[in-house]
Amino acid sequence: MADAKVIPFDDDRSRGSAVQRPSRRRGMGSRRNKGEPAAVREVQPLPGRPEAAPEEEPRTREEPAPPSRKQGDGWERRVAGGLAFLRRRLTGDYEIDDFGYDKELTDQVLMSLLRPVYEKYFRVEVKGVENIPSEGGALIVANHSGTLPLDGLMMQVAVHDNHPAGRHLRLLAADLVFMLPVVNELARKAGHTLACAEDAERLLERGELVGVMPEGFKGIGKPFGERYKLQRFGRGGFVSTALRQGTPIIPCSIVGAEEIYPMIGNAKTLARLLGFPYFPITPTFPWLGPLGAVPLPTKWTIQFGEPIATSGYPPEAAEDPMLMFNLTDQVREQIQHTLYKLLVQRRSVFF
Amino acid sequence: MGKVVLVTGVARRLGGRFVRRIQRDPEVDRVVAVDVVPPEHHLGGADFVRADIRQPTIAKVLAEHSVDTVVHMDVTGTPLGSGSRTTVKETNVIGTMQLLGACQKSPTVKRLVVKSSTNVYGSAPRDPAVFTETTPPKSLPSGGFAKDTVEVEGYVRGFARRRPDVAVCVLRFANILGPHADTPLASYFSLPVLPTVLGYDPRLQFVHEDDVVEVLRLASHEPERGTLNSGTFNIAGDGVLLLSQCARRLGRPTVPLLLPAVTWVGTALRTVGMTDFSPEQLRLLTHGRVVATDQMRETLGYRPKYTTVETFADFARSRGPGLLPPEALAGAVDRIAALPRLSGGHPPTQSAN
């Protein structure tokens, strides 16, 4: 799968795409980060204010941009596009799906916010993106680590930005995500939903690409000493879900996320008090306050493995516990092996 | 000989509309309209019987008119006029019990239609995003109208077991909206400024009044070919709207408040009598609720005329503009787009849509 030849090739490609990307995304993104949240937030707490006020802010920031008249045309189109976007957002004229996924907001705002972290901070290298089908449902199963679920978000950006069809990954998240204010709102709008069989099946049925991290809190909240050791994969519910829908399972290994917050301790009492599954103590976290919550700038690699087909099994196979365990182990081992392989290839944690 | 339909809860507008509509159906001979108070609207020639469904007299009404179809619409969340929550609960629960008892004794009753609500699913962060008719709720509603509907449905299931010869149809309606809707959510959306829960943007689904009347009609007649109209069905318009989207489309500013503060504001508003901010409505406005309507399409064979978005647009038209009308906001953006410096002399055609 991951032979030595792959690395330089991918390096080239990521550099190549970084050159062309700014023309398309950077500009739109950077403007919208400013424009959208500012405008949308401002509408709410200012009842009855003249409407012109909130919109003018992003505009004035825009003004220094078009002095070079050669690029004027491109800028105009972008300004017009930005205004059309703003107009749709302000009048509520956009669509969301049953799960609360706001495609427009995700593409224009949330992804643009994550992209700098993805490209500049963690410098994610993606391999094996061709293993993701360009249409139809598929279940991506990945390892989970890093105290905060940044790996899921990075995987979402990785799939969307690298896949030729620009597919959107729909992540399955823990119930804690949907209990926290603000977080639940953003998660739903970014296309995430609760990790349960009903939601996963509904998404796969509609031909969506679903991402799941079966280790759950066991994986993300494991101590630093156990890094890159896969935890138990729940009860293998994800396998039966994929079997019932006959969708392929794509194992995915993420290297680099383990080291962003080296968890050296767990304040269990505090965690119980706050209702969280764990309360991480890292060399920096509670001690340096908010500064300690900045993740370490590790170098990431995300590798999508070869898909495991499930369409060949009869429908009653989803109820067969032996088959479930076998398939779960197969997926688990494939992820673990790829993890080891990637770790051997890794030059350093940070470069 | 045609059918005799008994309808409860006709003093409400929706009940009145349904009575007027079903009388026009050729297979219906007579409509018996029942409520505790005489309705303010006309019933189009239906026989109004002033009876309390909480009393055993309802059995006499059933026997007297030899009713064969019962449409139970008196399961509601808000009191009619000046009633207390206790009265509402009694009408919902005791009323249903009495009515079902009367139906059980009546040899003529062949069909029972119950207006329920998607409130039976509750709404909690641990629930799946989309409820089907068979999804068990993770946390049962602990009180209020939601608990009433759960209990009502329990009694209806018991009745269906005891009288297997009666076709029983339970219709779980999503939030009913429309130009004349008098539901708690409609009065919430009529507030000049909408209090919302900080950090939550619930998904909402609506069903139009016209669709409610039509689907009740469909359920109270013989099933059409290839369809089945007994069982439990979710009824909702297609699509989903977020609360923030609703507020923007209505042109009403929102005030995000912390959860305890919302409860407090809700109590204050209830005291003033502006709207009812019940705990289950607060939960709806926190976590939202979306139901699957595949059964409605495939088994019941009903296609709603209005989607959620169209229902809301119809409702918004009837309410008049808010403080921040969307047209004005769109106009402001267009004016900025038309500024010569930004558009570079060209008319801003792209921003029209």
> Which chain A residues are within 8 Å of B262, Cβ to Cβ?
none
Cβ–Cβ of A80/B351 closer than 8 Å? yes
Within 10 A of B8 (CB to CB), how many other CB atoms are there? 26
Strands (E), B24-119: 28-35, 47-50, 69-72, 111-117
CA dist A200 and A238 (Å) reads: 8
Q: What does the pLDDT read at residue B138?
A: 74
pLDDT grade, residue B259 (50/70/90)? confident
Structure tokens, A29: 């993104």
Q: What does the pLDDT read at residue A178?
A: 92
ipTM of the complex: 0.86
> Which chain A residues are within 8 Å of B333, Cβ to Cβ?
55, 83, 86-87, 90
Q: Mean of the pLDDT values across residues B112-135?
A: 91
Cβ–Cβ of B344/A66 closer than 8 Å? yes
Residues B316 and B248: beta-carbon distance below 8 Å: no
Residues B220 and B71: beta-carbon distance below 8 Å: yes
Q: Look at residue A255 and give its three-state secondary structure.
A: strand
Residue B6 has pLDDT above 90, yes or no: yes
Residue-level length of chain B: 353
CA dist A157 and B38 (Å) reads: 62
Cβ–Cβ of B130/A46 closer than 8 Å? no
B335 has a chain A CB within 8 A of its CB: yes
Alpha helices in chain A (DSSP H): 6-21, 27-43, 52-62, 72-91, 103-105, 111-116, 150-162, 175-179, 183-189, 197-205, 217-220, 237-245, 268-274, 285-288, 321-345
Q: State residue B110 phi and psi, 5-degree precision.
A: -115, -15
Mean pLDDT lowest for which of A213-217, B210-214, B327-331? B327-331
How near does any CA of chain B get to the CA of A136, in Å?
21
Domain boundaries, chain A: 23-94, 111-260+295-345
Q: Is A305 exposed, middle or buried (0-12, 13-18, 19+ CB in 10 A)?
A: buried
Q: What does the pLDDT read at residue B334?
A: 84
Q: What does the pLDDT read at residue A72?
A: 62
CA dist A132 and B315 (Å) reads: 44
* B80-100 tens-digit pLDDT: 776 778 888 889 999 999 999
CA dist B58 and B69 (Å) reads: 14
Tens of pLDDT along chain A (351 residues)? 444 333 333 444 444 444 444 444 444 444 444 434 444 444 443 333 333 333 333 443 444 444 444 566 788 888 888 888 988 888 888 999 999 999 999 999 999 999 999 999 999 999 999 999 999 999 999 999 999 999 999 999 999 999 999 999 999 999 999 999 999 999 999 999 999 999 999 999 999 999 999 999 999 999 999 999 999 888 888 999 999 999 999 999 999 999 999 998 899 999 999 888 999 999 888 888 888 889 999 999 999 999 999 988 988 888 888 999 999 999 999 999 999 999 999 999 998
Q: Look at residue B48 and give its three-state secondary structure.
A: strand
How near does any CA of chain A get to the CA of B240, in Å?
6
Q: Is B136 exposed, middle or buried (0-12, 13-18, 19+ CB in 10 A)?
A: exposed
Spell out the residues 6+ positions from residue A91 whose beta carbon is closer than 8 angstroms to its own: B248, B249, B326, B327, B329, B330
- Which contiguous run of DSSP H or E holds residue B219? helix B209-220
Q: What does the pLDDT read at residue B215?
A: 95
Q: What does the pLDDT read at residue B137?
A: 75
Strand order, beta sheet including A125-127: A125-127, A301-304, A249-255, A138-142, A209-212, A169-173, A193-194
Nearest by CB: A51 against B200, B324, B337? B324
The residue in chain B having the minimum alpha-carbon distance to the alpha carbon of residue A51 is B329
Structure tokens, A120: 């500049």
pTM for this one? 0.82
CA dist A245 and A202 (Å) reads: 9
Q: Are strands A280-281 and A265-266 parallel, antiparallel or unpaired?
A: antiparallel
Question: Please, what's the largest Cα pairwise distance for chain B?
Answer: 80
How near does any CA of chain B get to the CA of A97, in Å?
6
Residue B279 has pLDDT above 70, yes or no: yes
Residue B145 has pLDDT above 90, yes or no: no
Q: Mean of the pLDDT values across residues B132-137?
A: 87
Q: State residue A55 phi and psi, 5-degree precision.
A: -75, -25
Cβ–Cβ of A76/B135 closer than 8 Å? no
Q: Look at residue B23 and give its three-state secondary structure.
A: helix
Q: Is B170 exposed, middle or buried (0-12, 13-18, 19+ CB in 10 A)?
A: buried
pLDDT grade, residue B151 (50/70/90)? very high
> Which chain B residues are within 8 Å of A59, Cβ to Cβ?
336, 342
Q: What does the pLDDT read at residue A70?
A: 52
> Which chain A residues are within 8 Å of B240, Cβ to Cβ?
96-98, 100
CATH topology of domain A111-260+295-345: Glycerol-3-phosphate (1)-acyltransferase (3.40.1130)
> Which chain A residues are within 8 Å of B135, Cβ to Cβ?
198
Give Cα B272 distance to the centre of its chain.
24
Spell out the residues 6+ positions from residue B53 whose beta carbon is closer than 8 angstroms to its own: B8, B34, B36, B74, B91, B95, B96, B98, B99
Cβ–Cβ of B336/A59 closer than 8 Å? yes
Interface test with B, best of A77, A95, A185 (most B CBs within 10 A): A185
Nearest by CB: B330 against A46, A72, A91? A91
Q: What is the 8-class DSSP label of residue A169?
A: E
Q: What does the pLDDT read at residue B273?
A: 65
| Side chain identity, residue B123 | S
CA dist B252 and B269 (Å) reads: 17
Nearest by CB: B200 against A47, A62, A185? A185
Cβ–Cβ of A92/B248 closer than 8 Å? yes
- Return the higher-pLDDT residue of A34 and B103: B103
**CA atoms in the 13 A half-sphere facing the CB of A154:** 33
Structure tokens, A44: 């709410």
How near does any CA of chain B get to the CA of A61, in Å?
12
Q: What is the 8-class DSSP label of residue A163?
A: S
Q: What is the 8-class DSSP label of residue A108?
A: I
> Which chain B residues are within 8 Å of A47, Cβ to Cβ?
193, 253, 255, 323-324
